[in-house]
Amino acid sequence: MAQTYHDDDEFLGKAYDARLIKRLIPYARPYLGLVFWGTAFMLLAAACELVIPLIVRDTVNGPFIVLGDQASTPAAKNGAWATLGWFAFGFVGLVAVQFVARFGNTYLFQKLGQKAVLDLRQDAYAHIQRLPLRFFDRNPVGRLVTRVTSDVEAIGEVFASGLVQLAGDAIIVVGALTLMMFLSWQLALFVVAGIPVMALLTWVFRGRARGAFREMRVKLAVVNSFLNETIQGWRITRIFGTEKQMADKFDCRSADYRDATYRTVFNFSLFFPIVEIAGTGTVLLVVWWGTRSIFGGSLDYGTFFAFFLYTPMMFRPIREMSEKYNVLQSAMASAERLFRILDTKNDVENPAEPKAPSITGEIEFRNVWFAYNDEEWVLKDVSFKVAAGSSVALVGATGSGKTTIISLLMRFYDIQRGSILIDGVDIREMNKDHLRTAFSLVLQDVFLFAGTVLDNIRLGNKDISREQVEAAAKVVHAHEFIESLNGSYDAIVAERGATFSAGQRQLLAFARALAYDPKILVLDEATSNIDSETEALIQDALAQLMQGRTAVVVAHRLSTITHSDNILVLHKGEVVEQGTHNQLLQQGGRYAKLYQLQFSNGANAETKAG
């Protein structure tokens, strides 16, 4: 249960990274209409907010002064009431326009964010699907799920409430400051004096929040990793009775995450009251100087009231910028991680001019060398040939290279030396999709998807009819147990087929392989989870399944491959023996020893050879 794979979660880059923004822009480009109208609404809302204090100033300096003056004539007062009515009408209208503008701005940019997130998530998923097996060897599933879900969602904040909204806040700050300087530059200086204080507080908060936020992300990653690992390994936990120990470990990790969250909450709880106090102090300075100026005759009441409205208007965006800074920083970190995956090159590429031969199933390995890394060869100068329609079995201890040969055959990896040919054509010269349509693969650990039995057999391929699925199931003796299910072929399959026995899952895998009518059938220890009674049924089905097809079989139990046309014995990446079952027994070599080991003293094929 080691804590690993969290380096990416510790990364928190800039709040604004021009390189990443440049790469995100194409996801907004298809929706320029939303950007245009959202920006227009934002500017309109900002304009309304800036104009409202001016209306208040003119209202106070105009109708209010006349109505409060005892010396005003009735005609002047009637005119003041009429003017006040127009001011009130204009004020209400301006507030209504501001409401519509804010709604339009928020709705359109949120819509933009969701559309961009959808496109980005689809691109990320499609790219991951195309990456070679080597990529998945190095990246845990949990990390990839986080990239396509949480990280993409965080990136959406750049579009929904990020840079454009920050620009809107900046317009309000600059606009308010400009208008205040125009109304009274002396009084505006008191407001300006508060800006460095706010900036300093924001800078200090940003540093503290950055560290706390990073720690919170790391602790959350630890919790998610532990949760994913222990839920998948619940059988082991139950068998060994370690539920209490696992619960204690989870409690410890959860408590660490809680404490990290507390530190983040503390920073926010401390920052905002301090900002309010700083803002209040600025207002007190405005009141003090404004009162002196009014009684000194250098300032009117209307301008004084306008400053009361403009001052919080100045500080609110500055305060909110600190929050948006964290949002943008998180989004940029998520974008960095996601683009790192999107930039991962597929080192198993289709050729520029791929060949698409009609595949009959002849296989040839010609002096093949392969290593997963540069340190150790897994296959060393492996050569063999399988005639179309014949069967070859691969035997050897764990790590001898059996499964590697299968992976190379379907070009999940590319070899370093030599060549692999199908019907005389190097597989590197073929389109990968064309190559793989010739194969059906049955693994020891059968993976079943959430959905129906029918969906799991044909894997969404609508070209395979229900009748073809049922025919395939009958051949491999899966039809009987499928018919016994509630819903038959439309029965719902639980996650990973948890409600089926290992044998039933294997039968479904055989039905899936047959439904695709492959030219080459690959069985990677496919009968190791089958009980003896089910195996008797499956052996007959396999004989029919292999008829007219090339079969490559990796088997633990040697009893399942005695009728193979050719058997390759692998040892440390080399083919040390090959021949039929009887030929290899007569040679008295490694295969004969493995066979004798399995069947000596009454042992049977349940004993594993590798």
Comparing 57-66, 221-230, 415-424, 437-446, the range with the smallest average pLDDT is 57-66
Total domains in the fold of the chain: 4
Q: What percent of the chain has pLDDT over 90?
A: 18
- Give the integer Cα–Cα distance in Å for 601 and 604: 9
The whole domain housing 26 covers 16-183
Is 324 a domain residue? no
Q: Say if 337 falls within a structural domain.
A: no
Contact 152, 117 (CB under 8 A): yes
Residue 4 carries which DSSP code? -
CATH number at residue 173: 1.20.1560.10
> What are the φ and ψ backbone dihedral angles of 2, each rounded to 5 degrees?
-65, 150
Q: Are residues 101 and 140 in the same domain?
A: yes
> Are 492 and 529 in the same domain?
no
Determine the Cα–Cα distance for residues 574 and 370; give it in Å rounded to an integer.
11
Per-residue pLDDT band at 217 (split at 50, 70, 90): confident
Same domain, 67 and 176: yes
Sheet strand arrangement including 439-443: 439-443, 520-524, 550-554, 391-396, 566-571, 574-579
User: Is there a domain that residue 349 lies in?
Assistant: no
Task: Tell me the CA distances in angstroms from 286 to 65, 141, 190, 196, 318, one per residue in order.
Answer: 22, 58, 6, 16, 19
603 in any annotated domain: yes
pLDDT of residue 14: 59
Phi, psi (rounded to 5 degrees) for 571: -145, 115
Residue 325 domain-assigned? no
Distance (Å, whole) CA 180 – CA 266: 35
Contact 443, 509 (CB under 8 A): yes
What is each CA distance from 586 to 341, 591, 600, in whole angstroms? 53, 10, 17
pLDDT of residue 366: 94
Summarize pLDDT for 10-50 with one digit per residue, the tens. Answer: 555 555 677 888 888 898 889 999 989 998 999 999 899 88
* Backbone angles phi and psi of 348, in degrees to 5: -115, 85
DSSP annotation of 498 reads T
Instruction: Please indicate, yes or no, whether residues 552 and 510 belong to a single structural domain of this protein.
Output: no
CB–CB of 421/596 below 8 Å? Answer: no
Residue 153 confidence (pLDDT) above 50: yes
Asked if residue 306 is part of any domain, the answer here is: no
**Which residue is listed with tokens 């799991």?**
456
Indicate which CATH number applies to the domain containing 461: 3.40.50.300
Give the DSSP letter of residue 36: H
How many CB atoms within 10 Å of residue 548? 11
Residue 135 region, left (φ>0) first, then alpha (ψ -120 to 50), else beta? alpha
Are 111 and 37 within 8 A, CB to CB? no
Residues 395 and 524 in one domain: yes
pLDDT tens digits for range 160-183: 776 677 778 888 888 888 888 888
Q: Rounded to an integer, what distance in angstroms lies between the CA atom of residue 217 and that of residue 333?
A: 11
Last residue within a domain, chosen from 142, 161, 183: 183
Cα separation, 438 vs 359, whole angstroms: 7
Whether the CB-CB separation of 575 and 382 falls below 8 Å is answered with yes
Average of per-residue pLDDT across 496-513? 82
317 is a domain residue: no
Q: What angle do CA 372, 373, 375 make, to 5 degrees?
A: 125
Asked, for residue 96, whether it belongs to a domain, the answer is yes
CB 49 within 8 A of CB 97: no
Contact predicate 512/460, CB 8 Å? no
505 with 395, same domain: the answer is: no
Same domain, 114 and 167: yes
pLDDT in tens, 517-539: 889 999 887 666 566 666 676 67
Residues 431 and 472 in one domain: no
Q: How many other CB atoms sit within 10 Å of the CB of residue 601? A: 5
Percent of the residues in the chain that have a pLDDT greater than 70, as a whole number? 89
| pLDDT score of 309 more than 80 | yes
Are 189 and 177 found together in one domain?
A: no
Do 588 and 526 belong together in one domain? Answer: yes
Task: Report the C-alpha gap between 49 and 176 in whole angstroms.
Answer: 9
Dump the DSSP string for 201-258.
HHHHHHHHHHHHHHHHHHHHHHHHHHHHHHHHTHHHHHHTT-HHHHHHHHHHHHHHHH
Vertex 475: Cα angle to 469 and 476 (nearest 5): 95
Residues 53 and 152 in one domain: yes
Structure tokens at 112: 């933009």
> Do 389 and 529 share a domain, yes or no?
yes
